[in-house]
Amino acid sequence: APASASVQMAEAYLFDQKRLLPCAAYLDGQYGYKDFFMGVPVIIGGKGVEKIVELSLTAEEKAMLAKSAESVQGIVDVVKKSA
């Protein structure tokens, strides 16, 4: 599956397909997160990630997203301290 996803991303970029795919993207306020990479739905085209698609989330989904973001931030903090 990872190889297939990589091929889909490469084709979307190389052939400017404007394709909706999940991708780790840099967030700049989307989903309430800034200066943060997170796996989100994006449109990939000839310019790379051309748009981050923000889905409407339920309160439960927002809580799960926050928990995931907190875990990722914890890992980032540990890596920064060890660098």
User: Per-residue confidence at 1, pLDDT binned at 50, 70, 90?
Assistant: confident
Q: What is the pLDDT of residue 83?
A: 82
User: Per-residue confidence at 2, pLDDT binned at 50, 70, 90?
Assistant: confident
Range of the domain at 40: 2-82
Share of the chain above pLDDT 90, in %: 92
Q: Is residue 62 scored above 90 in pLDDT?
A: yes
More confident residue, 80 or 43: 43
CATH of the domain at 40: 3.90.110.10
User: What's the mean pLDDT when you consider all of the chain?
Assistant: 96
Q: In what order do the strands lie in the sheet with 34-45?
A: 19-28, 34-45, 48-52
Per the structure, the count of domains in the chain is 1
